[in-house]
Amino acid sequence: MEYFSIFVKGIFVENMIFAYFLGMCSYLAVSKTVKTAVGLGFAVIFVLGITVPINYLLEEFVLKEGALTWIDPSYSTIDLSFLSFIMFIAVIASIVQLVEMIVEKFAPALYGALGIFLPLIAVNCSILGGALFMQERQYPTIGEATVFGLGSGVGWWLAIVAIAAIREKIRYSHVPAPLKGLGITFIITGLMGMAFMSFMGIEI
């Protein structure tokens, strides 16, 4: 039940785009057609699902104050949390690289679908955001952290696919010229965010 709650919360309540604006750059740049949006969305789910648990282990066993006690009890006062930003981003960048290579080798079809998006993802704020929220919220087990990563990824996927669908349709509408493209996308995202806020009170 705990897992389900974290998962649903990650998709609807704490949606990376609508509640925190994370990953907006690629969200706006790659949402012109549904097809590419779906591809990028899956890549985000994939990478979040892998990097959040890895960063969780890093946080639990290396970075946190007293995390190094598994090597020697006398290390209980060492606090490496100031290194967390740099470690997280290094993990993300190298995992993305690694995943790209593995996918290319063993799943060429998947690579064809996700390949061009993977390099973009290293600098997608939602991935680092996922790691930082994981650190801040201190999930008790790696299972919960993974589910949180996947849930946030699905939420991000949902957001980008939804906006891409709207943008495909809006091309045929009479939008004031200066608002065309970017402007109207911002405003629609704002309206969608308001709609998503109604999920806020749910308790699962």
Partner 1 sequence: MSTEVKEIKKTSEPLFSKKNRKLLSDPLNDSNPITVQVLGICSALAITVQVQQAVIMSLSVLFVMIGGNVIVSLLRNRIPDRIRIIVQLVIIAALVIIVNEVLKAFLPDISEKLSVFVGLIITNCIIMGRLEAFALGNKPGPSFLDAIGNAMGYAWILVAVAVVREIIGSGAISLPGMGQVKFIPSSWFIAEGGLYENNNLFILPPMALVVVGIIIWIQRSRNTKLIEEN
Partner 2 sequence: MAINKNSNGYTFLFSIIMVVVVGSALAYTSQSLKPLQKANEADKKMVDILGAIKVPATRANAKEEFSKYVVERISVKYDGSEVNTASGDITAGDKTDPFNIDVKKEYRAIISKIIKSTKKDPEGRKQRLGDAEVTYPLYVCEKNDTTFYVAPVVGTGLWGPIWGYVALLEDGKTFYGTTFDHKTETPGLGAEIKESFFTVKFEGKTLNTSSETVFEVKKGGAVVDEHSVDGITGGTITSKGVGEMLNRTLPVYVKYLSNTSNQKAQK
Which residues of this chain interact with partner 2, rule CB under 8 A?
A: 2, 14, 82-83, 86, 136-138, 140, 200-201, 203
Which residues lie closer than 8 Å to 39 by C-beta, 6 or more apart?
A: 113, 114, 116, 117
Q: What's 204's DSSP letter?
A: -
The answer to whether 9 touches 204, Cβ cutoff 8 Å, is yes
Minimum CB distance to partner 2 smaller for 82 or for 106: 82
Q: What's 140's DSSP letter?
A: S
| Binding track over 2-31 against partner 1, x by CB under 8 A | ----------------xxxxxxxx--xx--
Minimum CB distance to partner 2 smaller for 74 or for 173: 74
Among 5, 78, 184, 199, binds partner 1 (CB under 8 A): 184
- Residue 124 as a binder of partner 1 (CB under 8 A): the answer is yes
Phi, psi of 126 (to 5 degrees): -65, -25
CA 65, CA 100: separation in Å to the nearest integer?
33
Measured from the CB of residue 73, what is the shortest distance to partner 1 in angstroms? 28
Burial category of 108 from C-beta neighbours within 10 Å (exposed 0-12, middle 13-18, buried 19 and up): exposed
Measured from the CB of residue 177, what is the shortest distance to partner 2 in angstroms? 35
Among 140, 178, 198, 203, binds partner 1 (CB under 8 A): 178
Which region, judged by CB under 8 A, interacts with partner 1, from 3-11, 58-66, 140-148, 182-190? 182-190
